[in-house]
Amino acid sequence: MRIFAYAVAGWLVLVGAMGILRSRNLIQATVSLSVAQSGTYVLLLAIGYQWEGRAPVFSPGSTPTSDVVDPVVQAMALTDIVVSATVTALLLALTIQIEKTHHTVDPDKLQQLKG
């Protein structure tokens, strides 16, 4: 339990990288990249977790306490998610553009085209 959360974060990065490697389609490579990036969210939130800690949001009606999970890593994870979405959008747009000029989205065939 002590390291299980960190191990899962590492596994996500690794399996995502493997997906990029074995992809035969640039869309699959992009999706795999976003899986790899989700490993960083898990890592960040795992670092900030505290047993029995509450969420760092003191909604109206609740009393503030210092026994909360770390809000700083949560803010970073939030930024991470938004950046991941913008990267995915750009890569998908590039995929569409590559398909228009080279008529294929297979990375291996694209490499052959360059010679």
Partner 1 sequence: MSAVLIVVALTLVAVGATAVVFTPEPARQAVTLSVFGILLTLLFFVLQAPDVALSQLVVGTALVPLMVMLTVHKINQRHR
Partner 2 sequence: MSRRARLLVFALGAAGLAVMFAFAVAGMPPFGTSEHPYRDLAVPAALQHRTANVVSSVNFDQRALDTLGEEVILLSSVIGTAALLRPTRRESRRPATRGGRVSDSTTLLSYLLLPVTVLIGLDVVVHGHLTPGGGFQGGVVLATAVHLLYLAGRYESLQRLRPLSWYVWTEGLSAASFAVLGLVGLALGSGFLANIAPLGSFQSLLSAGTVPILNIVTGAAVAGGGVVLLAQFFAQAIGTTQLPTRRSTS
Site of interaction with partner 1 (CB under 8 A)? 1, 4-5, 8, 11-12, 15-16, 18-19, 25, 27-28, 30-32, 34-35, 38-39, 41-42, 45-46, 48-49, 51-57, 68-69, 74-75, 77-78, 81-82, 84-85, 88-89, 92, 95-96, 99-100, 103, 105
Q: With contact defined as beta carbons under 8 Å apart, do 77 and 45 qualify?
A: yes
Beta carbon nearer to partner 1, 89 or 113 = 89
